[in-house]
Amino acid sequence: MRLAKPSAFAARLTTALLITVLGSGCLEYTLDTTLRDDGSGVRETRLELTGHDDIDLSADDFRRLTHVSEAEGWEHRVRLDDDGDTVHVFVRALRIGALRDWERASGTFLIDGAVEQRAAADRDRPVRFQNRIAVRRTEESGGSVGFELRETFSWTGAIDAMVSFFVDDLDRRLGEQLPGLSAAGRGEIVGMTRARLSDAVRDGLLLGESDQEEALADLARRTAQEAVSGRRAGAALPTEAQVEAVLLETFADAEERLTDYVEQRFPGILLAVNSEVVYRLRLPGTILRTNADETEDGALVWRFSPADALTAPIEIVAVSRLQDGK
């Protein structure tokens, strides 16, 4: 699980996927969380969108992807910034009455990858970025009490969607270029490729690595070797060179093709990647442990982008102790 620290991975992903859809647009989220000593509190979320005219989405689709509709409790207003540019501001306040009610804040930070989940597989595992929060009261051996807050921000389905783009293309190419290959043999090669490519993408491959062509070529070579060496005696499988050639063709211009695919199919990923999140937390008592980036005006502060969570969840952690156990 990744701590809430910015990474070079986010910068690589932004460079690879950002420019076409959003242009100069920018989404800035501010999450202000206040926990009181009786366990109650409030979560105020603010989203500011600049550069709206550069986003190739209707207003309705933008609201669907980011879940900022009035029906979901958001207020919307428009203002002009210092440069005279239009800024759309969305605000929502969630008031928590008791400690046990903090779970209501889970799933309230939500960005969908696609406006519509087209296939059954999409509906079963939609591409989505969302939060999950847990707050509990703590008791230490000395009798002191306090609070622990943990909140994770994570993606579901994003890596699978990117990998599926290539393995679906590979399946088609194998059928067309190697017609003698059985369905079982084709499925074996596709399965091997999916497993290897999934691991590689989680390590940042296809998302702006400078040596990605070399890494993809190595992946193609190793996959072809494994596929051919594992065939049964007498099985009608192609040669290692034939399998490798189809894999290399599938991976050609990988970054450009992936960018086009994500732009067309998953505009919500682009919105998320072009988002900045500032998370502020105020806990009662003395802070004992935290992974916050900084402290600002008495609040713990984290700064991150949803892109940081593509390969592993971001986790917010803070533990406090109340004065005199109250």
Range of the domain at 190: 160-261
pLDDT confidence of residue 259: 83
* DSSP 8-state code for residue 38: T
Average confidence (pLDDT) over 91-115: 96
DSSP collapsed to 3 states, 157-216 = CHHHHHHHHHHHHHHHHHHHHCCCCCHHHHHHHHHHHHHHHHHHHHCCCCCCCCCHHHHH
Domain boundary residue, one of 261, 277, 307: 261
Identify whether residues 218 and 275 lie together within a single domain: no
Does residue 141 sit in the same domain as residue 284? yes
Domains in the chain, number? 2
Residue 254 is predicted with a pLDDT of 86
Residue 227 in 3-state DSSP? helix
Question: Is the domain of 188 the same as that of 310?
Answer: no
Percent helix, percent strand, percent coil in the chain, to nearest 5? 40, 30, 30
Report the pLDDT value the prediction gives residue 6, as an integer from 0 to 100: 40
Measured between alpha carbons, how far is residue 152 from residues 27, 38, 41, 81 in Å? 20, 23, 18, 32
Q: What is the pLDDT of residue 17?
A: 47
HSE of 266, CA atoms in CB hemisphere, 13 A: 27
Residue 81 shares a structural domain with residue 122: yes
Burial of 98 (C-beta count, 10 Å sphere; 0-12/13-18/19+): exposed
Q: Which of 70-79, 228-237, 257-266 has the lowest mean pLDDT?
A: 228-237
**202, pLDDT greater than 80:** yes
CA distance 212 to 57: 31
Q: Over 60: is that where the pLDDT of 124 sits? A: no
Check whether residue 110 and residue 252 sit in a common domain: no
- Whether the predicted pLDDT of 109 surpasses 60: yes
Nearest to 45 by CA among 127, 130, 124: 130
Whether 165 has a pLDDT exceeding 60, the answer reads: yes
Is the CB of residue 316 less than 8 Å from the CB of residue 150? Answer: yes
Q: What is the pLDDT of residue 81?
A: 86
Specify whether 298 is located in the same domain as 173.
no
Same-domain status, 14 and 149:
yes
Distances (CA, A) of 7 to 57, 143, 308, 309: 28, 39, 6, 10
In degrees and rounded to multiples of 5, residue 97 shows phi and psi of -85, -25
Examine the fold and report which residue of 261, 285, 314 is the final residue of a domain before the chain moves on.
261
Q: 81 and 62: one domain?
A: yes
pLDDT tens sequence across 238-256: 899 999 999 999 999 888 8
Of 226, 236, 230, 249, which Cα lies nearest the Cα of 176?
A: 249
Same domain, 121 and 87: yes
Q: Is the pLDDT of residue 228 over 60?
A: yes
Q: Are residues 272 and 148 in the same domain?
A: yes
More confident residue, 317 or 50: 317
Provide the terminal-to-terminal Cα distance of the chain, rounded to the nearest Å: 32
Boundary-marking domain end, from 241, 261, 281: 261
| Distance from C-alpha of 128 to C-alpha of 138, rounded to nearest angstrom | 32
- For 63-74, how does the pLDDT look when each residue is reduced to its tens digit (9 = 90+)? 999 999 999 999
Residue 103: both structure tokens together = 């779970």
What is residue 211's predicted lDDT score, i.e. its pLDDT?
75
Query: What is the average pLDDT across 232-241?
Result: 70
Question: pLDDT category, 23, cuts 50, 70, 90?
Answer: very low
Q: Are residues 138 and 184 in the same domain?
A: no
Q: Are residues 52 and 10 in the same domain?
A: yes
The whole-number pLDDT of residue 326 equals 52
pLDDT in tens, 279-291: 999 999 999 999 9
DSSP β-bridge partners for residue 139:
145
